Amino acid sequence: MDIVFDQAEATFDRRVVLKPLSLRLTERRIGIIGLNGSGKSTFARLINGLLLPSAGRVVTNGHDTATHAAQARAAVGYIFQNPASQIVLPLVREDIALGLQSRRLAKADADRAVAGALERVGIAHLLERRAHELSGGEVQLAALAAVLATSPDIVIMDEPTNQLDLRNRNLIEQTIHALDENVIVVSHDLALVSGFPRVLLFHEGTLAHDGPAEETIDRYLKLAA
């Protein structure tokens, strides 16, 4: 993983929500914390080109998100703050297969990729289930499986433990820890990012702190007090 922000800025309706920022992310586990509206999701969306910088550049694994959008996007699997909104087809297996369509795999290979992805996150039994009937924890895991099926180098999860009970929260935490992929987690669940080598703290559209988890969390606790 190699993500470079070069004076990258984000604006909505001419309002700057992320001030020009330069940094490089290469650690396998990155956490992003901060108050509501501080710019965390905006920062995450810049990484895969869901949002393009209004100034500066974002280069993900060597691909400029503005000029090489498809390559940048292919490197990143993104799980939204509300993953239920990512579900479009009725059955779990159909929904996961949808993400593989652009690969033009033979049916048997696509089926194997779908089953393998569900197995990796421990939900092989949900293959034939209706996606809209899944529980919150199951939706989160199914969204993760859908993303993993596309073999991304980087997985971005925006608030993955939001609204989950303690058991599902712990399951998501263990699943994240076990992933071979690079993971960027945006979260208000500070324990989730507590062991991470690098955690970024956003505050009012700026990077207020960038350091190991304990240091950044400590800073956030003071800032929020």
Ligand X SMILES: Nc1ncnc2c1ncn2[C@@H]1O[C@H](COP(=O)(O)OP(=O)(O)OP(=O)(O)O)[C@@H](O)[C@H]1O
- CA-closest candidate to residue 88, choices 119, 134, 131: 131
Give the nearest distance from C-beta 161 to ligand X in angstroms.
13
- Scanning 38-46, 61-69, 105-113, 132-140 for contacts with Mg ion by CB under 5 A, the matching segment is 38-46
- Residue (41 or 175) nearer to ligand X, CB: 41
CB 75 within 8 A of CB 152: yes
Give the nearest distance from C-beta 205 to ligand X in angstroms.
7
Which residue bears the tokens 């304990």?
214
Give the nearest distance from C-beta 80 to ligand X in angstroms.
11
Got the DSSP string for 131-187? GGG--HHHHHHHHHHHHHTT--SEEEEESTTTT--HHHHHHHHHHHHH-SSEEEEE-
Q: Which residue in the shown chain puts its C-beta closest to Mg ion?
A: 41
Give the nearest distance from C-beta 202 to ligand X in angstroms.
6
Examine residue 41 and tell whether it contacts Mg ion (CB under 5 A): yes
Residue 156 interacts with, from Mg ion, ligand X, none (CB under 5-8 Å by kind): none
Name 184's bridge partners: 30, 156
Give the nearest distance from C-beta 10 to Mg ion in angstroms.
13
Residue 39 interacts with, from Mg ion, ligand X, none (CB under 5-8 Å by kind): ligand X
Query: Restricting to residues 57-86, which ones interact with Mg ion according to CB under 5 A?
Result: none
Residue 83: strand, helix, or coil:
helix
Q: Two tokens at 169?
A: 């929260």
- Residue (150 or 206) nearer to ligand X, CB: 206
Give the residues lining the site for ligand X (CB under 6 A): 12, 17, 34, 36-42
Structural element, H or E, at residue 4: strand 3-12
Residue 62 interacts with, from ligand X, Mg ion, none (CB under 5-8 Å by kind): none
Which residue bears the tokens 């960027």?
184
- Residue (38 or 65) nearer to ligand X, CB: 38
Residues 43, 52: Cα–Cα separation, whole Å: 10
Name 174's bridge partners: none
Site of interaction with Mg ion (CB under 5 A): 41
